Chains A and B, each alone.
Chain A
């Protein structure tokens, strides 16, 4: 039997592709009359190339990646839009045992507190600099990634210059734990299960998490080739509904065991189901016997996790500017503003009568506690969405935010 819509999508073997994978494997796509074909890829560069030449209509992407494509920061690119976010949170910062020992000597505690961990890391880095030792080397998965920007944000807010006082390199996620164990890197920021993997191997400590650096912050998204979205608006809307149902299913603890088993299959992650549990429960082993439950560690659905907030895209844009990836110009700002498409999300989901945010952007960091907000349809709870250093990002005051971060850096 042939379906009304044929959609081809790429994904990387990471847990946060779960909503896309479950849409295909648990029949949510089929129920919307979509034949969804998934292709596993080995690099973000391949995803970008295959989207550009039309092999894929859409893909699991790093949140800042579609911005990088549209802003001209990548060699081969097609205009890419984001009508759906695949979840909030999910990453950790993991360091070697040697760095942990150095930080512990400066007061680090196994509590994931970004400020305390950052202060201890800064003191340790200054010790090393005084002893004329090589700068520490951290790894992230891609320059245009939430990982890179949240690691840099955390370090900078703790008084560590990520360009001058440490080195940041790129390592593919599955190789992170091994690179740490063999001393090629001293720490990294990556999604699960690659942090728990180092802890389980006894070669790393989790020192802080994305969910505490910036509460309920954006991570992976669905990036869609704009030309395809323009040509097939009905197929896209049907897919967004399928992803919505899939995300709701993924969030429900009653389905976690089944989801872990689906993701464990060789054609998805190829890792045992038990390895997927920390990201689903938020119960993390930090190393050295410490364990902690992290609130909102990874949300595939709750708290409007799938809504493509323009303020999320714009925050990524400010960090691209901050670290010299792109110049802040009115044209570039306009490109960044147009990349995430809450209008497409809203129009696709409207027939379902579900809770939808009324605004396209929000002031990030304004919600100190979980808050019920005005929305169409049923009730909606957002946040907290605070940055650990108490800063606020108001997307209407972007120039001020960029200028403030620039001057903070010059003074340091």
Chain B
């Protein structure tokens, strides 16, 4: 894969690679700013950072007036979700704004293509100030990536549970319609749905949904 880092940005990264440990840095704990419109996910990240010993964590949900906040917070690391439509604005601000006293570059460890991919896959990106050593940032990015993934998994499971419940409801309605219109027992109604689904190579819930829709169209009699 021909990914390459641009020259300007390579210089920036080279700059902080060559710096001795903590050069020019007074505070020992990194100030981390989390920008995420999703409040639940942001608090999961924040909790993770605090557990990992980062005490200077700020969470922002709304980017209005963010230049001023960045000037106040002076973050060393900024974590942003990729769904945020303001990423272009933020990247531009990191490079140009007078409010940003130290240049901020995207965190890209060019020796580690996998970690860039993992971050984008998880839906997160990190930016770091000039002069910060990569090994101090990597654990923060890794933590953000794993928490983003955990959040997505949780959201997916919730969605699956919700749609599972929905299918069960629609299957129950379809069984009711069959029982009423064809005088079947509940078990026979379910067997008929299952057989039809198998024959048509479709899901039972899809067959049930078609039946409920058709019944709704054909007459008020089946309407519950």
Contact = CB atoms under 8 A, between A and B. Distances in A.
Contacts of B88: 43-45, 141-142, 170, 172
Interface stretch (B45-53, B77-85, B184-192): B77-85
B89 A42 contact: no
Nearest to B104: A75
B87 interface: yes
A79 interface: yes
Given A49-B125, A53-B3, A225-B2, A75 B106 contact: yes
10 contacts: A53-B113, A72-B9, A73-B8, A76-B106, A76-B116, A77-B4, A77-B5, A143-B92, A169-B89, A172-B89
A174 B1 contact: no
Grouping DSSP codes into helix (H, G, I), strand (E, B) and loop, the B interface class, with mixed when no group exceeds half, is mixed
A76 B4 CA distance: 7
Interface in B39-90: 64, 82-89
Contact of B3 (A52, A169, A174, A175): A52
A398 B8 CA distance: 24
Given A53-B116, A53-B117, A53-B120, A76 B85 contact: no
Interface in A197-240: 225-227
Contacts of A54: 1, 3
B89 A171 contact: yes
B105 interface: yes
B15 to A, nearest CB: 14
Contact of A43 (B7, B84, B108, B120): B84
Given A42-B82, A43-B84, A55-B120, A79 B8 contact: no
B200 interface: no
A399 to B, nearest CB: 23
Contacts of A50: 120
A128 to B, nearest CB: 21
Contact of A75 (B1, B93, B108, B120): B108
Q: Which of B8, B9, B87, B88 has the most CB of A within 10 A?
A: B88
Nearest to A172: B85
B6 interface: yes
Nearest to A77: B6
Contact of B4 (A45, A71, A78): A78
Interface string A73-94: 1111111000000000000000
Nearest to B106: A75
Contact of B84 (A42, A76, A143): A42
A61 to B, nearest CB: 13
B2 A75 contact: no
B164 interface: no
Interface residues of B, number: 29
Interface of A: 42-46, 49-50, 52-55, 69, 71-79, 141-143, 169-172, 174-175, 184, 225-227
A376 B9 CA distance: 43
B91 interface: yes
Contacts of B87: 42-43, 45-46
Given A43-B85, A75-B91, 6 more contacts: A45-B91, A53-B120, A74-B6, A75-B106, A77-B5, A79-B4
Contacts of B125: 45, 49
Interface string B4-19: 1111110000000000
A287 B82 CA distance: 36
Contacts of A77: 3-6
A226 B92 CA distance: 25
Contacts of B108: 75-76
Contacts of B3: 52-54, 76-78
Contacts of A142: 88, 92
A135 to B, nearest CB: 14
A2 to B, nearest CB: 18
Nearest to B95: A143
Contacts of A170: 88-89, 92-93
A77 B5 CA distance: 6
A41 to B, nearest CB: 9
B62 to A, nearest CB: 12
Contacts of B113: 53
A172 B86 contact: yes
A305 to B, nearest CB: 25
Contacts of A225: 2
Interface string B125-155: 1000000000000000000000000000000
